Chain A
Amino acid sequence: MPNIQRLQNISGQAHIVGVGESNKLGKVPEKSPLAHHSEAAINALDDAGLELSDVDALFTAGWSTLDVAEYLGIQPRYTDSTSVGGSSFVIHVAHALAAIAAGYCEVALITHGQSGRSDRAPIPRNPGAPMAQYEAPYGIIGPPISYAMAARRYMHQYGEDRTRQAMAEIAVSTRKWANLNPMAYFYDKPTTFDDYHNSKWVAWPFHLLDCCLVTDAGGAIIITTPERAKDAKNGSVKILGAGEGHDHSGISQMPDLTRAFGRNTGPQALEMAGVSLSDLDLAMVYDSFTYTVLVSLENLGFCAPGEGPDFVAEQRTAPGGDFPLNTNGGGLSYTHPGMYGIFTVIEAARQLRGQAGERQLEKCDLAVAHGTGGLLSSTGTVVLGAD
């Protein structure tokens, strides 16, 4: 089990000093996935006032760090290709904190690049793996179907109508945030409850508007020591708490379809940070699907199992509501190249540094970023604080 006392000793011992996206998000067939990596990395380094030659640690998922470091032309002294789905990049933040606190490295680059929309060469899967062997032959392939089956079970346990309403609330409120973010895919496109209910079925009970975007995008984060963070060009953000883990791979092996691993990683991250849920000003919660948000809020402890629909009712999570959630517009309406997790941390860092433009929260001193990866399989949670 995690040793909370020892974790508390490294709380805050590394800071985020730079964040960035690739230059263009959305439909970008003219760029390769590795080009998204490099653009985002260079943009994040520029945000930090650093250069590629300063980087001595590399973290990525989807790709091996071997490929990404070679493409970037760097020779890292610490390397981490932990790849457990879209939550990986949140987990990398925790790993960078540990590596920096232990002295393995000083300037960590976490980078992501994926052409979910335009990739000419999608990464093949191992056909002998259990998920491919037992699920794929039945057409249980890809996230929407698996998450839809989990959502249907939730509806059975907690009520179909109120779950449906909650999913609609999340789709609509998230779009309102996207309408404040010029980088968002749906920046110019508002949506209504009617739009939600009229959107086509992807995998019942999921409408199209329950599902995240599929885009081309890159993102990057620069993390360094508290000492070097003092020179950060645009300010820094403390990494205060973290938790990670997983409890299955394929959806048919999930221990409880209505409870994901955030039930462990959320409380751990908060305890390590020494803060409580009521201290948080912002929740960035990976929204691969509307249902992912519902279950994640419960897992993190914001409300009890089955109470998520009441928690998000009446556009409480929209701009102007008392629970700011996914202020970048989320995977649902901003961008989602396939493994979105890095963008939860990027937006949290921007809000904590007061650089979120029109969508900037009035007060943002403490934020949680929570990634869910695979088929509700893995989670990574970090608590971040303004410096």
Chain B
Amino acid sequence: MTNSTPKPQPVSQPESDRYWDGLKNEEIWLQRSKATGKFQFYPRNFSISDPGTGEEGIEWVQASGNAELFTFAIVHAAPHMGFVGEVPYITALVQLEEDVIVPTNIVGVEPEPENFQIGMALKPVFEHNDDGHTLLKFAPA
């Protein structure tokens, strides 16, 4: 293996096609339970807050994109050959306004601990890859 090893790409599943397709259009689509009003991430074929209603109990809703930093790490040792050229990079868990946590990267900030405050406001950055995937990353709002 060399430094040109590709990064792992998302292998979309039937229940998540809408999420990944939405990102290509720079839209964040989330599932919400019709009964409880709770959002869930990641997409499933039922609502975990109202399991009895199956697919009928879910609706897709476009998220605002408003988010806060929940936690982060600054990666110095690449965990995969595809990320060797990326270090140091920021991994993060981000809390969307819709009260779900999404795993992501923070971009547009120097990777020093003092540049990140838990709770800082973030906005989405849609990263379109050459292979047709779009990743949802975040930058300071």
Contact mask B64-104 → A, CB, 8 Å, 1/0?
Answer: 00000011111111111011001011011100000001111
Across the interface, which residues of A come within 8 angstroms of B103, CB to CB? 134-135, 138, 140, 250-252
Determine the residue in chain A with the shortest Cβ distance to B76.
A201
* Contact among B11, B72, B105 with A152 in the assembled complex (CB-CB below 8 Å): B72
Determine the residue in chain B with the shortest Cβ distance to A152.
B71
Question: Does B141 have its Cβ within 8 Å of any Cβ on chain A?
Answer: no
Instruction: Tell me whether A137 and B42 are in contact (CB under 8 A).
Output: no
Interface 9-mer from A65-73, A124-132, A186-194, A299-307: A124-132
Question: Does A361 have its Cβ within 8 Å of any Cβ on chain B?
Answer: no
Across the interface, which residues of B come within 8 angstroms of A62, CB to CB? none
Given the interface contacts A132-B11, A148-B73, A201-B76, does A153 sit within 8 Å of B105 by beta carbon?
no
Given the interface contacts A128-B13, A251-B103, does A203 sit within 8 Å of B8 by beta carbon?
no
Contact mask A143-183 → B, CB, 8 Å, 1/0?
Answer: 01100111011001000000000000000000000000000
Report the minimum CB–CB distance from A158 to chain B (whole Å). 12
CA distance A205 to B133 in the complex (A): 30
Which interface residue of B70, B74, B82, B83 has the most chain A CB atoms within 10 A?
B74
Given the interface contacts A145-B91, A149-B93, A153-B118, does A136 sit within 8 Å of B75 by beta carbon?
no
Instruction: Tell me whether A252 and B93 are in contact (CB under 8 A).
Output: yes
Number of interface residues of B (CB under 8 A): 38
Given the interface contacts A128-B13, A204-B76, does A138 sit within 8 Å of B71 by beta carbon?
no
CA distance A250 to B103 in the complex (A): 10
Determine the residue in chain A with the shortest Cβ distance to B82.
A139
CA distance A244 to B77 in the complex (A): 32
Instruction: Tell me whether B11 and A133 are in contact (CB under 8 A).
Output: yes
Determine the residue in chain A with the shortest Cβ distance to B137.
A138
Instruction: Tell me whether B12 and A133 are in contact (CB under 8 A).
Output: yes
Which interface residue of A153, A156, A252 has the most chain B CB atoms within 10 A?
A252
Report the minimum CB–CB distance from A134 to chain B (whole Å). 5
Given the interface contacts A137-B9, A257-B71, does A203 sit within 8 Å of B105 by beta carbon?
no
Across the interface, which residues of B come within 8 angstroms of A250, CB to CB? 103
Instruction: Tell me whether A200 and B73 are in contact (CB under 8 A).
Output: no
Task: List 6 contacting pairs A-B, 8 Å CB cutoff, sorted by A.
Answer: A145-B79, A149-B72, A149-B93, A153-B70, A203-B74, A257-B93
Residues of B within 8 A of A (CB): 7-13, 16, 42, 70-80, 82-83, 86, 88-89, 91-93, 101-105, 113, 118, 133, 135, 137
Would you list the 4 A-B pairs with minimal beta carbon distance, nearest first? A148-B73, A204-B74, A252-B103, A153-B71
